[in-house]
Amino acid sequence: MRKIIFNRIVVALLCVLCGTACSDDFLAETNPNELSTGSFWKNNVDLNTGLTSVYNGFKNTSIFNVVSENHRADMTWPGFGRPNTQNAFYLQTFNDAENDIRNKWAALYVVIFRANQVIENGNRLKETYTDQDKIDFATEIIAQARFFRGISYTYLYNMFNQGSVPIFDFVPESEDEFYQPVSSASDVKAFYIADLEFAYENLPPVWDGNVNLGRVTSAAAAAELGRSYLYEEEYTQAAVYFNDIITNSEYGRNLVENIDDNFSEAGEFNSESILEVSYSVNFKAELNPFDSQNVSNTLGRSFSPGNLGGYRSGVPSCWLQMAYKNEAMDLSDPRNFVPCEDGSEGCDPVTLTRPRSYSLRTSYSLALVDDVDTPFYGGFLPGQVTPFNNKECAYFRKYSNWATVNSENDIVPNTRSGINIRLVRLADVYLMLAECLIKGGTDEGGLNDALALVNEVRHRSALQLIGLNGTGSYPGADHDNVAYSAQELMEHLMYVERPLELAEEGHAIRFLDLRRWGVLKQRFQDLSTKKYWGDNYVTTDIDGKVVTRWGALLIEGENPTAGGFTYVDYAQAAVNYSENLHGYYPIPNSEVTANPNLNN
């Protein structure tokens, strides 16, 4: 570039010195090696390339903030070091200067700005086309861009400033145009609903070929529309979209048989997946693993044990561990039995089988020290391969690479993971529709259909079904034999089914659920009264040596040992949380400082 500028200066000087007439066209010549908006947005190929930048922008994990968003809810303890923590999200003491808040805001507006370029130029190009195939292709590209603009605004609406944020429906052409005031929450909602409706009407239900794997579909738009209406308690309208996903054969959506396929690399883009963000460790090795432009993520380390390359930035909260440990299995289902040696504890001498240590859902959600049926890293059992020390009684399996490596340290390039983030899957839609059918626990009319949906999710993991014995789609399965009311089923959805099925998944699902139900403060207060302690567990390590995992087996109640450690979660959150202060993020101070028109 310096050489081009230097040559132009030399030629201009020669023109002056020699008295020759130099062409203005030459001096204004465009650098052929530098793209501009005038030279790029020429056709659908350019449009599709621009769309790729939108998809890439949405890969930025700052958008989802998986760790921080779950600290805000009741899912996690923020890493090792009990009983003390300085984590502002867990303590509910965050403010507008937090990096995670600033980065989330910035990442979402990057997606919006990129999407606006595609939308604006796509609409312009469509007006020049006469070929219907070109028009249709451009429309599909615009629909994808509008989906991402729409979902970005749903995240902003649900997370920031009570939903009142700046709207950009254009490409800024001057510095002043970047400084937009906040719009009302109702205007923001109307804006993103229009985007998602356009995507719903113009995206295909499925895409053909592996080259299109991961593109958003009308099902993804339907899911986000349904979720948006559900969050506003508009149950009838939400149910329209959820029913479409479930009953429309064009979508081809089904619950997968193995729940682990929803968390593993091998099970990516399966029949249950509705919206999934794709990652890979095979590209951009030169970038820092935390670079926003990377196409891998760092979540593999976030939840894994320290001796296996993990940061354990979030370990399961005590109530969640106990809820998983206590899940009742359907003992009429052969999936809940494993082979055993005759004479061993719990072994049936006739069938030579015994019940599983824990349910399938539990085993593929958490690594527990006494789970002797589900391998962890390197094919070893959890109690063999990690010591469960530092008062850590369980680890999340989700997002970790336990099935493919011996340690997170084995992945090259380092500190990367290629496991996709599942934002929406069919089980979530089933449970949201169940909530719609009982109208949040206020309507008995849809109770039986709602129970059936919940039991479809439970049956997939061979769990004991809920409801009266002999009822529903699986009358021969074990049931809890409880005659549920709509309100009792709602309680089950709130405190059992949704948190255990969807722990750590999606975009802030658990936090947004608790906030919209209006129970977050009470939830922290209730959990802060519960006590737990860790008993010792004797097992063998990977070399067959007998070892004790000290305090690794979580038990509810006061520690019976004099001076022994007792776990208490959410004591500070119970005091600190305020709906007005912590129900939404504030607009980050970086935006407040930079934008003089923010409150105009």
3-state secondary structure 52-78: HHHHHHHCCHHHCCHHHHHHCCCCEEC
Dihedral over alpha carbons 428, 431, 435, 436 (to 10 degrees): 70
Taking the C-alpha atoms of residue 208 and residue 117, their distance in angstroms, rounded to an integer, is: 26
Taking the C-alpha atoms of residue 90 and residue 85, their distance in angstroms, rounded to an integer, is: 8
pLDDT in tens, the chain (600 residues): 333 333 333 333 334 333 334 444 444 455 555 556 667 899 999 999 999 999 999 999 999 999 999 999 999 999 877 899 999 999 999 999 999 999 999 999 999 999 999 999 999 999 999 999 999 999 999 999 999 999 999 999 999 999 999 999 999 999 999 999 999 999 999 999 999 999 999 999 999 988 899 999 999 999 999 999 999 999 999 999 999 999 999 999 999 999 999 999 999 999 999 999 999 999 999 999 898 899 999 999 999 999 999 999 999 999 999 999 999 999 999 999 999 999 999 999 999 999 999 999 999 999 999 999 999 999 999 999 999 999 999 999 999 999 999 999 999 989 999 999 999 999 999 999 999 999 999 999 999 999 999 999 999 999 999 999 999 999 999 999 999 999 999 999 999 999 999 999 999 999 999 999 999 999 999 999 999 999 999 999 999 999 999 999 999 999 999 989 999 999 999 999 999 999 999 999 999 999 999 987
Q: What is the pLDDT of residue 1?
A: 36
Taking the CA atoms of the chain, what radius of gyration do you get in angstroms? 27
Cβ neighbours, 10 Å, residue 53: 16
Q: What is the pLDDT of residue 39?
A: 76
Q: Taken in order 409, 411, 417, 419, is the CA torsion positive or negative?
A: negative
**Tokens read off for 264:** 């593993």
Omega before 334 cis (within 30°)? no
